[in-house]
Amino acid sequence: MNILIMGPAGAGKGTMSDLILKEYDIPHISTGDMLRENVRNETELGKEAKGYMDAGKLVPDDLINAMVEKRLQEPDCKKGYLLDGFPRTLVQAEAFEKITERIGKPVESVLALNVGWDVLVDRITGRRVCPKCKAIYHIKNKPSRVEGICDVCGSPLQQRRDDTVEQLKVRMDEYDKSTKPVIDFYREKGVVSDIDASVSAENTFAQVKKALGKVA
């Protein structure tokens, strides 16, 4: 099963990705993680990407595309893949279409997580993270047992610098401009499922399973 998951910041892509991973036993591939792994492991693609990153430049699409193509051909992707954070733009989507045709792994389902503005604001501004073990909490929806302290390792929790209303507006503008056209691109192919992600994780995942049941 070859899946893309898309949605704005705070839509719950990480939570849904974890549940999909457990349910369907396919790898969750975040392009950000993939890029960092290539740089850390000093692969040829990673070394090239690091050159751009060290110069404060964006890593070019063709380099990201090459990493994605290589990653999707690894053994753990035999049953399929769940891509998170790619493609982000229409140009990337068109290039990815050629990649999937070339390697015989076409996109079968695009999960578009939809959440209203007020819900996103509540989720983003209430999010707290542990800088040490990376556990994530929410002051209302998933509070730590002791306020401000991580349940896992006991470190003080922090609010990310970009978890503000102002930064959310910037990210939403970018999402509307760049990523929504990608969803429309796949909608024309008939593979998009709109998911109401403003409800609980349990109810959201029920919609996800129903959508994936059409291609399983």
What residues act catalytically? 13, 88, 127, 160, 171
CA 159 and chain centroid, separation: 20
List % helix, strand, coil for the chain (3-state, nearest 5). Answer: 50, 15, 35
How much is the CA Rg of the chain, to the nearest whole Å?
A: 18
Q: How far apart are CA 214 and CA 49, in angstroms?
A: 38
Give residue 201's identity as a one-letter amino acid code.
Answer: A
* Cα–Cα–Cα angle for 169, 159, 147, rounded to 5 degrees: 135
User: Measuring CA to CA, how many Å separate 120 from each of 11, 102, 194, 210, 215?
Assistant: 7, 37, 17, 24, 29
Q: How far apart are CA 201 and CA 29, in angstroms?
A: 20
